[in-house]
Amino acid sequence: MTANNGIYIAGRWENGTTGIENRNPSDLSDVIGTYGQASATQLDEALAAARAAQPVWSRAGVQKRHDVLMAIGTELMARAEEIGRLLSREEGKPLAEGKGEVYRAGQFFTYFAAEALRLHGDLAESVRPGIEIDVRREAVGVVAIVSPWNFPVATPAWKIAPALAFGNAVVWKPANITPASAIALTEIIARQDIPAGLFNLVSGPGRDVGQRLIESSAVDAISFTGSVPVGRSIAAAAVTNMTKVQMEMGSKNPMLVMDDADLDLSVAHAANAAFGGTGQKCTAASRLIVHEKIHDAFVERLVEAAKALRVGHALEEGTQIGPVVSESQLTQNLEYIGLGQSEGAELLCGGDRLERPTEGYFMAPAVFANTRNDMRINREEMFAPVTSVIKAGSYDEALAIANDSEFGLTAGIMTGSLARASHFRANMRAGCIMVNLPTAGTDYHVPFGGRGSSSFGPREQGRYAAEFYTSVKTAYVAAGDVS
């Protein structure tokens, strides 16, 4: 991997006009590399190259697209250990999670390789005699992809794979915090037999490169994962050009723990969902709404579980929680700890910066109790290893609390009652519902997305992805008389 190499345009690697340094959040003395930042001119070149390459790729046919995506996915899965180690080194998630993410990214590509062959249309009878109708899906054109740092390989994979599968060109702006992972994925894609310019990696600051990308009239669709404020600005910019938009944004996911739930299983799933990935998941369970009959016992065991979690270097054997991704993220997390206390919440454990043999951004997982749903720690996404417990007197009260949020991504319930589980599935306003499972953890072959401020536009993943990455065309044909 070449230093200052973070830009891939029109089939060639380029250096940026400036560079950023990338350090390991588990060990700040470990400099992973220096990576290039694109200029406005380079972005414009990438967009022009994508527009030229897209029709060539679309005409290449479904078998070609299938073969290319299968090759990408197969290599990702085969190199999950190697690339997963790089990912964990720069993002901070434990190695097992890093390897799992890369393998899952490979599965996205192999799944959509098959979907390229399943892009079937429809025939319809016309209400008028002598006319035939067919309905087909076609590529939307050039897709701009803006992806986050918390899943630096998996999230772009589930966007890039369907974009390519359905015949589109891609201009990808990854997060600046995780440039090495972006380059590793790009290197695999760049080795494939695809038109020059079909896939472009353009790293750079959001205020410059990102803003210019989403405002460009050369872009036909934008797929974004990130914060609500940025998502709203993207939507506003996209309206100017009538650009198709798909966005996954914030969350404040609830997990209901009912009085008939398996207590040990509930604690295990709550700890997993709240603290896995250092809490830096959009599917993390940050609101635990617990029935008053088991509240005290649940809280006691959850605190024990949180204290028992091993926080350490992401690549160290036995680490269960790695560091927070950056100094600014850690600072924000600690500010939320202070905010929760000022609001009257009781901090039962964690919430402090930890010292380890290597200097890094380590934080003890935190549990708040005696919280109310109107507290800011229960209204705003923290993206931290922090969870809050809210006491509820009944199932109905717990459901009302869970639905009292601007977000609606994932939601879970722990219960032994089929009636409660069925009612929750029907009445919880969220895109993904989990019964006796953690709120985090989704499959790659079914739709993913939420409601409210969590999502905007068509769903991601599975066959539903075609709604965003393709455009429907209806054709009418008057064949005329046989004689």
Given 75, 282, 432, 460, which residue is catalytic?
A: 282
Give me the torsion for CA of 460, 463, 467, 472, rounded to 10°: 160
Residues recorded for the chain: 483
CB 460 within 8 A of CB 247: no
Positive/negative CA dihedral, 90, 95, 97, 98: positive
Q: What are phi and psi of 245, to 5 degrees?
A: -130, 140
Looking at 192-309, which runs of residues are DSSP E strands?
199-202, 221-225, 244-248, 253-257, 285-291
Residue 288, Cβ density class (10 Å: 0-12 exposed, 13-18 middle, ≥19 buried): buried
**Sheet bearing 386-392, strands edge to edge:** 346-349, 366-369, 386-392, 285-291, 253-257, 410-414, 432-435
CB 363 within 8 A of CB 278: yes
Considering only CA atoms, which of 236, 188, 206, 204 is closest in space to residue 75?
188
Given 91, 101, 248, 381, which residue is catalytic?
A: 248
Whole-angstrom distance, CA of residue 135 vs CA of residue 119: 11
Please name the residue that has the structure tokens 């109790």.
369
Is 432 known to be catalytic?
A: no
Distance of CA 384 to the CA centre of its chain: 16
313: helix, coil or strand?
coil
Positions marked catalytic: 248, 282
